[in-house]
């Protein structure tokens, strides 16, 4: 037990140091894309982008927000929202509390009010460390409340997606979150709100097929896998190998589904530009 | 009411002898005029749609089409739509709204097609836009799950004011096979998956996901089409009359609130409401 606490404490301190940019670990981390090792320090300075190949490694929701928002502007929304177990699925509650312990997250989404270069907006970020960022009822509810809150406050909405899709353990209730979130962002947008959807690696299934594909502006980090069906399912279905780069952000850009690819260190500048162009959330 | 296990229901729901969208259209509507094509690049026969009269009143009717024989199965891709199919559905729904026609959909698909071209042309975007559009329509919409309601590919035609299911139809986040292979890395445990997924009409009614379960004849709709048609006809008549009391924006609001509540205020974990 003591060990768990000290490990948790270590991690929290490490996160704090990472946020403040003063990590001096001698640890080396291997890139899951190119297989090369680089000092953790270099990864940290590079916002967790591989210093060798430029692979944009998945990052946690709080970390992402801390790199995008103006210092001190982060105000978490709906942080009490907890997951449910609508199917009474065997082993699911235990899995949820285990993940809460290891990630510090209640579920796979974080919503916040924040500013980028002084421009106020509502943010929602999916975190792939929590069951692949899958959308269960709590994630669907958080996205929906973020959209409704943004609508009520007449603020722009920025969502960063990273998700394996629907949360199997919540079955049909998970599927319904697609309808719910799509309806919520649709309602927000038809009320004049600006919605910027940002894909990160990987985003597939029910998240791609709902709110994530509905942005007024569609952005993605480079190399992100974006699709409805996952590559393995497609290969099994069509019984052939998919070409290199299939379903990657660059491919989607070429096929007309994205406005732009944004490097991780460019998010602040790009969001700031877009928010300024839509001052007052897109209203005249 | 539940003479069949969830696993047996999955088999029945997939029975090729069950009436499909084209059968329901032929039996319940007159003057059907099929509309084809998405006006962007293609025509997807796995979604059938058009204008027809229901008891004299023009409606837009859309549904998944699996096909009746192997040749038609192949042409319709076994009811697995491509983006063109969803974009055609969007076009028909917009038109329905423009002309003030109710939209009636028949849901029967294993899921949207997980193919290379489908991805290339934006399967995810096509489904997402259909969900968003359907959620905000200001005309009455009724969806009937007649066979298998598989995943987002089914939901895209089912964001309706009323979602009804035939008694032995199933509706789920993914096929039981896919579910088992994702969760347990073992597709052969599909039978077990049927048990935990709560995919039967009765379970979904209890969970507030569907608003009505339509009785099927004795052994199932495949044994007596006429009886199934009569039930669906009566249900559509009843629901349309109820929805006619709501004006445009109220219809969109009712639908929004209904889907908004799914997953909120669920029965506490480990307990099931009767």
What is the full DSSP assignment across A82-122? ----TT--TTHHHHHHHHHHHHS-SSSEEEEEEEETTEEEE
What does the pLDDT look like over A106-118, one tens digit per residue? Answer: 999 999 999 999 9
Question: In which band, very low, low, confident or very high, does the pLDDT at B63 lie, cut at 50, 70 and 90?
Answer: very high
- Per domain, the residue ranges of chain B are 6-258
- Which of A24-28, A272-276, B91-95 is least confident? A24-28
CA–CA dist B86, B80 (Å, integer): 11
Question: In which band, very low, low, confident or very high, does the pLDDT at A141 lie, cut at 50, 70 and 90?
Answer: very high
- Give pLDDT, residue B269: 38
Contact B125 A84 (CB under 8 A): no
- Which of A5-14, A94-103, B56-65 is least confident? A5-14
The CATH superfamily holding the domain B6-258 is 2-enoyl-CoA Hydratase; Chain A, domain 1 (3.90.226.10)
Percent with pLDDT over 90 in chain B: 89
Question: In which band, very low, low, confident or very high, does the pLDDT at A206 lie, cut at 50, 70 and 90?
Answer: very high
B172, B182, B183 member nearest A172 (Cβ): B172
Helices (H), A105-225: 137-153, 171-190, 205-208
What does the pLDDT look like over B191-201, one tens digit per residue? Answer: 999 999 999 99
- Per domain, the residue ranges of chain A are 1-55, 56-282
In this structure, what token pair is assigned to residue B75? 């042409």
B124, B198, B267 member nearest A213 (Cβ): B124
Question: Which whole number is the average pLDDT over A216-229?
Answer: 97
Q: Is A228 on the interface with B (CB under 8 A)?
A: yes
Q: Is B197 on the interface with A (CB under 8 A)?
A: yes
For chains A and B, what is the number of CB pairs under 8 angstroms? Answer: 182
Contact B197 A180 (CB under 8 A): no
B209 pLDDT above the threshold of 50 = yes
Q: Is A241 on the interface with B (CB under 8 A)?
A: no
What does the pLDDT look like over B247-273, one tens digit per residue? Answer: 999 999 999 999 999 976 444 433 433
- Give pLDDT, residue B2: 57
The interface predicted TM-score (ipTM) is 0.94
How far away is chain B from the Cα of A23, in angstroms, using its nearest Cα? 37
- Give pLDDT, residue A5: 73
Helices (H), B198-247: 201-206, 225-243
Mean pLDDT score of chain A = 92
Chain B 154-193, residues with CB within 8 Å of chain A CB atoms: 155-156, 158-159, 171-174, 178-179, 182-183
In this structure, which CATH number among 3.50.50.60, 3.40.50.300, 3.40.50.2300, 3.90.226.10 belongs to the domain A56-282? 3.90.226.10
A183, A228, A247 member nearest B127 (Cβ): A228
- Give pLDDT, residue A284: 47
Mean pLDDT score of chain B = 93
CA–CA dist B273, B266 (Å, integer): 10
- Give pLDDT, residue A17: 67
H or E element, residue B153: helix B151-155
| Chain B, nearest residue to A205 by Cα | B124
The neighbouring-strand residues paired with B200 are B170
The neighbouring-strand residues paired with B103 are B60, B141
Question: Which whole number is the average pLDDT over B45-52?
Answer: 98
| Mean pLDDT comparison of A88-92, B20-24, B203-207, highest-scoring range | B20-24
């Amino acid at each position: 037990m003591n060990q768990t606490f000290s490990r948790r404490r270590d991690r929290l301190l490490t996160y704090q140091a990472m946020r403040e940019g003063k990590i001096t670990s001698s640890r080396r981390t291997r890139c899951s894309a190119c297989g090369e090792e680089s000092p953790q320090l270099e990864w940290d300075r590079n916002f967790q982008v591989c210093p060798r190949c430029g692979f944009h490694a998945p990052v946690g929701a709080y970390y992402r927000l801390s790199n995008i928002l103006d210092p001190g502007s982060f105000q978490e929304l709906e942080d009490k929202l907890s997951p449910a177990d609508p199917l009474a699925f065997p082993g699911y509650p235990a899995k949820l509390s285990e993940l809460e312990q290891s990630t510090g997250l209640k579920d796979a989404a974080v919503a916040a009010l924040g500013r980028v270069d002084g421009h106020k907006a509502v943010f929602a970020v999916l975190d792939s460390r929590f069951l692949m960022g899958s959308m269960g009822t709590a994630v669907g509810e958080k996205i929906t409340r973020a959209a409704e809150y943004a609508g009520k406050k007449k603020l722009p909405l920025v969502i960063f997606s990273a998700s394996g899709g629907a949360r199997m353990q919540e079955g049909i209730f998970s599927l319904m979150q697609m309808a719910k979130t799509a309806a919520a962002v649709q309602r927000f947008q038809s009320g004049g709100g600006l919605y910027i959807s940002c894909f990160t690696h990987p985003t597939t299934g029910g998240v791609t097929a709902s709110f994530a594909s509905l942005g007024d502006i569609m952005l993605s980090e480079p190399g992100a896998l974006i699709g409805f069906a996952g590559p393995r399912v497609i290969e099994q279905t069509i019984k052939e190998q998919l070409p290199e780069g299939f379903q990657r952000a660059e491919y989607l850009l070429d096929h007309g589904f994205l406005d732009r690819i944004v490097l991780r260190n460019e998010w602040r500048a790009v969001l700031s530009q877009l928010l300024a162009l839509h001052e007052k959330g897109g209203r005249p | 009411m539940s003479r069949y296990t969830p696993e047996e229901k999955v088999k029945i729901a997939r029975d090729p002898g069950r009436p499909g969208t084209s059968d329901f259209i032929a039996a319940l509507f007159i003057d059907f005029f099929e509309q084809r094509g998405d006006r962007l690049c293609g025509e997807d026969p796995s979604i059938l749609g058009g204008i027809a009269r229901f008891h004299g009143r023009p409606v837009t009717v859309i549904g998944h089409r699996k096909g009746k024989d192997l040749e038609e199965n192949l042409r319709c891709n076994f009811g697995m739509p491509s983006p063109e199919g969803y974009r055609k559905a969007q076009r028909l729904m917009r038109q329905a709204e423009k002309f003030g026609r109710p939209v009636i959909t028949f849901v029967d698909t294993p899921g949207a097609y997980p193919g290379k071209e489908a991805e290339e042309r934006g399967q995810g975007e096509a489904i997402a836009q259909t969900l968003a559009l359907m959620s905000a329509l200001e005309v009455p919409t009724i969806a009937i799950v007649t066979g298998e309601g598989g995943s987002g590919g089914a939901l895209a035609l089912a964001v309706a004011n009323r979602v009804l299911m035939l008694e032995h139809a199933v509706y789920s986040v993914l096929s039981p096979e896919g579910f088992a292979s994702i969760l347990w890395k073992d597709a052969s445990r599909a039978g077990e998956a049927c048990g935990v997924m709560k995919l039967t009409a009765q379970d979904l009614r209890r969970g507030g996901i569907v608003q009505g379960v339509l009785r099927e004849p004795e052994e199932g709709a495949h044994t007596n089409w006429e009886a199934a048609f009569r039930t669906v006809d009566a249900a559509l008549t009843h629901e349309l009359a109820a929805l006619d009391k709501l004006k445009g924006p109220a219809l969109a609001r009712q639908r929004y609130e209904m889907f908004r509540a799914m997953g909120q205020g669920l029965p506490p974990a480990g307990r099931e409401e009767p």
